[in-house]
Structure 1
Amino acid sequence: MRKITMTLSFVFISIILVGCQQSNDKKLDNEVSNTDKLETQAEVTEGDFTYRLVTEKAEYSENEPIKIYAELEYTGDREEIEIFHAASPFYFPMVEITRNYEIEYGMDMPLLSTTLVKGEPLRGEYVGSGGYSSEDKNEYKEFMKRVMNKEFPAGHYVVNGIADFDIKVSEGTELEEKYELEAQVGFSVQ
């Protein structure tokens, strides 16, 4: 009787695991098709700031440079405003959804300031990203080496762009207001 119970338990658990795997596969397929719907330009407004994220093309060839940039524009009442940020206010982390690989975007973290003039966008371009550790699988390492060398392998990419900065609430105070504007664009490499 115990053998039958163990066998039935094993079969039941196997069926559940196979069902879960099929569910995950469907989710990945949906994500790929959703990338096809992503735009090459996105714009977000929060308070007195407009953030734009752009990839110049929806489809690149494997040997073609990937052109991505972000803009931050001040639209408030003043003529100019000072923002505080790391090496840049712009971050370009990505996900290659065919392989489900995250492409991190590291940055130096000094405290810098930039003056934004009303109606004149500040622009920052994607200059490369990625990284890996010695524990990562060889396939992942090879993929990241190519990305770090700005040679994107074929796949579907989603850029999860961020503009991250602070402003002083009023002159002469230490109080700051934090902004983290996010937008998403997508592109494919064939």
Structure 2
Amino acid sequence: MLKNIKLILPIMFLSIGLFGCQQNNNEKVDNEPSNTQTLETKAEVIEEDFVYRLVIENAEYSKNEPIKIYAELEYTGDKEEIEIFHSASPFSFPMVETTRNYEIGYGMNEPLLSTKLIKGEPLREEYRGSGGYGSQDKKEYIEFMKQIMNQEFPKGHYVVNGIADFGVIANEETGQKKKYKIKAKVEFSVNDSN
């Protein structure tokens, strides 16, 4: 009888453990916004003498409707103007589609360019598209990315993880540079109908 109990107990604990794991694997991850959750469509981050804004014009779009996102960088310091150094653009718009958990990259050329910011006049740039895929990616992912690359967003919940990435010369005499990487987040959803 004691042998049977010694054999039954480990099997029972193993069954409970596997059942517990099974339950956790079937739980839906709460990446989707609830119907009562308000989507953040505007974000503003102040870092020292710079204000970074990330804006999406609507919280909800219809399937394949053009998505309007833009970023702004404003200088608010003591000088009349300041020169910033950046890649092809100081702005990038990487996203995550949370329903499918797909990352939508934002590639960019990386020359070293400069732009003058005039105090109180925001530099503004609109989102122009993103995404990409490789030959080893799954068919569903490739089809999704092809739509994104054509700026035809499928139904889903999207989070834009915007970045303003640039540098300035912090000390004119020494040429010492200071790097900024200011981040903000906005989100939107795409539905089947208007």
* TM-score (ref. length: structure 2): 0.88
Distance in 1 between residues matched to 2:63 and 2:183, nearest whole Å: 27
- Is 2:15 the counterpart of 1:11? yes
Aligned equivalents of 2:128, 2:75: Cα separation in 1: 24
Per-residue deviation at 1:133? 1.2
Q: Does the C-alpha gap of structure 1 residues 138 and 9 become closer, same or farther in structure 2, counting only changes over 3 Å?
A: farther
In 2, distance between residues paired with 1:85 and 1:169? Answer: 15
Q: Secondary structure at the match of 1:37?
A: coil
How far did 1:12 drift? 3.9
Structure 2 unmatched ranges of 5 or more: none
Which has the larger displacement, 139-148 or 173-182? 173-182
Q: Which amino acid aligns with 2:157?
A: H
Q: For 1:34 and 1:111, locate their aligned partners in 2 and report how far apart those are by CA, in whole Å.
A: 43
Q: Report what 1:32 is aligned to.
A: 32
Give the superposed CA RMSD.
1.9
Deviation at 1:19, TM superposition (A): 3.8
SS in 2 for 1:33: coil
Deviations 1:59-83 (A, max 9, x none): 1111211110000000000000000
Where does residue 161 of structure 1 map in the other structure?
162
Q: Secondary structure at the match of 1:169?
A: strand
Percent identity, aligned pairs only, is: 61
Partner SS state of residue 109, structure 1: coil
Q: Could you tell which deviates more after superposition, 59-68 or 4-13?
A: 4-13
1:18 maps to a residue whose letter is: Q
Paired position in structure 2 for 1:21: 25
* Distance in 1 between residues matched to 2:11 and 2:135, nearest whole Å: 41
- Distance in 2 (CA, whole Å) between partners of 1:134 and 1:92 is 24
Q: Which residue of 2 aligns with 1:63?
A: 64
Structure 1 unpaired stretches of 5+: none
Check whether the contact 2:64–2:151 (CA below 8 A) recurs between aligned residues.
no
Query: What pairs up with 1:97-116 in 2 under 5 angstroms?
Result: 97-116=98-117
Deviations 1:157-187 (A, max 9, x none): 0100010000111214331111111111111
Cα distance in 2 for residues equivalent to 1:33 and 1:188: 9
- The alpha-carbon deviation at position 16 of structure 1 amounts to 3.6
User: Hey, what's the Cα distance between the residues in 1 that align with 2:117 and 2:75?
Assistant: 6
The whole-number CA distance in structure 2 between the counterparts of 1:99 and 1:119 is 40
- Amino acid across the alignment from 1:118: K
The residue matched to 2:19 in structure 1 has which SS?
helix
- Taking structure 1 as the reference length, the TM-score comes to 0.90
Secondary structure at 2:33's aligned position in 1? helix
Q: Secondary structure at the match of 1:151?
A: coil
For the residues of structure 2 that align with 1:5 and 1:185, how far apart are their CA atoms?
51
